């Protein structure tokens, strides 16, 4: 059996080059996790996800508990078998979606009672049930149930919410069934308030987790506020455990967060944008639906060194989106996930060479150039 563990292979400023070992394989960090909400990264086969370089995916407990149900996934062998993905899977706790996407029925110390958006069925999500569901899903990395505060909350409310999250974190730790190679992560809350963040971090470290996430960000506070929170928070987290910034983000956010000591990321941007025709490239984003691409024989990202989507032209991709063909979203999702994995590979290389700050400057300069010139 494999112990769940994190090794810091090298450092560059506050950035770390690490390796996470799990029951389902190792993960080189800093890492980006594609989002596979309903046990599928939208538009991708598990094989095509792996071919982008992804070593771990995220799945959403909220969606899976409603459909097909955690017990059904368990009967079908757990999430790895269910979605034909043998590598690690991280699941969130379900709390974020329950509290932001559904009509709340009741939120108290016990947990959250809510109705399914699919058929109105009543559910109760408690710290213990969230852990049980993630156990049934066979998640490699389980997240504690927490409350994610909205942007703009005042400090008193942020403190009260954070304390609730810390009580839930302790109950999750208690409920989590320890298995070789499986891990449980705590989540730092406290909104934009340094004292609350520090208190939250200390509370989690006191309980003891296999990894530490920073939650409650990427909710509209802006990059500067987010980076400020990281500047306060990551130094308060133990160096020997992975740090995960939830729901982030744009390529530029990721580079800056790695510089501030973050090891793990997830975000729907590359997949969601891909479905609407937005492509990430070394020279910023572009929308392939734009008429200027209609007869362009060049690839999406001529400066990329990988053939993310075969030898297709911008003109072909433009055609696919105009004709509403499924292959358009498929290829742009593939491309964007490739882009994100290539970015993480380059970030890891820069840390290894001790030149992450230079890399960040070059990265931002290249992004600022904007898309390649029309032919």
**Which residues of the chain form contacts with a copy of itself (CB under 8 A)?**
38-40, 42-47, 63, 67-68, 72, 75-77, 81-84, 294-295, 297, 309-313, 315-316, 318-320, 322-323, 325-327, 329-331
Residue numbers annotated as active site: 92, 266
Q: How far is CA 88 from CA 23, 27, 83, 181, 264, in A?
A: 8, 8, 12, 10, 13
User: What is the spatial distance between Cα 11 and Cα 355, in angstroms, rounded to a whole number?
Assistant: 10
Taking the C-alpha atoms of residue 229 and residue 224, their distance in angstroms, rounded to an integer, is 9
Q: Whole-number minimum distance, CB 262 to a copy of itself, in Å?
A: 30
DSSP structure class, residue 167: H
CA 151, 153, 159, 160 torsion: positive or negative?
negative
Q: 173 vs 289, which CB is nearer to a copy of itself? A: 289
Rounded least distance, CB 366 to a copy of itself, Å = 27
Identify which of residues 75 and 292 has a Cβ nearer to a copy of itself in the complex: 75
In the complex, least distance from residue 48 CB atom to a copy of itself, rounded to whole angstroms: 8
Distance from CA of residue 316 to its chain's centroid?
31
Alpha-carbon distance of 174 to 176, in angstroms, equals 6
How far is the C-alpha of 368 from the C-alpha of 339, rounded, in Å?
17
Closer to a copy of itself by CB, 271 or 341: give it. Answer: 271
d(CA 285, CA 289): 12
Give me the residue label for tokens 């530490």: 212
Decide whether 150 or 327 has the Cβ nearer to a copy of itself: 327
Beta carbon nearer to a copy of itself, 243 or 338: 338
Q: Closest CB to a copy of itself among 213 and 269?
A: 269
Does 67 sit behind a cis peptide bond, omega within 30 degrees of 0 on the bond before it?
Answer: no
Note whether 220 and 151 are within 8 A (CB): yes
Least spacing, CB of residue 162 vs a copy of itself, in Å: 34
**239 vs 6: CA distance, rounded Å:** 10
Q: Which of 7, 19, 20 is nearest to 90 (CA)?
A: 20
Tell me how far, at minimum, the Cβ of 116 lies from a copy of itself, in Å. 13
Kind plus residue range of the DSSP H or E element containing 21: strand 15-22
Residue 59 beta carbon to a copy of itself: minimum distance, rounded to whole angstroms = 12
Q: Nearest distance from residue 117's CB to a copy of itself, in Å? A: 12
d(CA 316, CA 332): 12
Q: Answer yes or no: are the C-beta atoms of 338 and 345 closer than 8 Å.
A: no
Nearer to a copy of itself, 145 or 320 (CB): 320
| Cα separation, 314 vs 297, whole angstroms | 6
Both structure tokens of 115: 């109705």
């Amino acid at each position: 059996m494999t112990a769940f563990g994190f090794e810091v292979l090298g450092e560059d400023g506050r950035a770390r080059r690490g390796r996470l070992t799990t029951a389902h394989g190792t993960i080189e960090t800093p890492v980006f996790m594609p989002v596979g909400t309903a046990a599928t990264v939208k538009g991708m086969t598990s094989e095509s996800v792996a071919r982008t370089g992804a070593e771990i995916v995220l799945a959403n407990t909220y969606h899976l508990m409603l459909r097909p149900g955690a017990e059904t996934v368990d009967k079908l062998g757990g999430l790895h078998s269910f979605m034909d993905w043998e590598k690690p899977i991280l699941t969130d706790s379900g709390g974020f979606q329950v509290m932001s996407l559904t009509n709340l029925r009741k939120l108290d110390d016990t947990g959250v009672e809510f109705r399914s958006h699919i058929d109105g069925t009543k559910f109760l999500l408690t710290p213990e049930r969230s852990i049980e569901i993630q156990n049934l899903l066979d998640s490699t990395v389980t997240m504690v149930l927490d409350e994610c505060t909205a942007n703009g909350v005042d400090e008193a409310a942020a403190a009260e919410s954070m304390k609730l999250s810390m009580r839930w974190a302790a109950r999750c730790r208690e409920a989590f069934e320890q298995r070789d190679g499986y891990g449980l992560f705590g989540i730092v809350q406290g909104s934009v308030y340094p004292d609350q963040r520090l208190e939250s971090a200390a509370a989690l470290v006191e309980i003891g987790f296999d990894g530490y996430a920073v939650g409650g960000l990427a909710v509209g506070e802006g990059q500067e506020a987010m980076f400020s929170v990281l500047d306060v928070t990551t130094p308060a987290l133990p160096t020997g455990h992975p740090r995960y910034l939830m729901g982030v983000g744009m390529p530029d956010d990721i580079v800056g967060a790695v510089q501030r000591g973050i090891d793990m990321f997830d975000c729907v941007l590359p997949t969601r944008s891909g479905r609407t025709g937005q492509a990430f490239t070394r020279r910023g984003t572009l929308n392939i639906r734009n008429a200027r691409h209609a007869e362009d024989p060049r690839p999406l990202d001529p400066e990329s060194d990988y053939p993310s989507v075969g030898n297709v032209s911008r003109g072909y991709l433009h055609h696919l989106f105009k004709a509403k063909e499924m292959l358009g979203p498929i290829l742009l999702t593939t491309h964007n996930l490739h882009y994100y994995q290539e970015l993480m590979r380059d970030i890891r290389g820069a840390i290894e060479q001790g030149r992450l700050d230079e890399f960040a400057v070059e990265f931002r300069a290249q992004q600022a150039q904007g898309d390649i010139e029309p032919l």
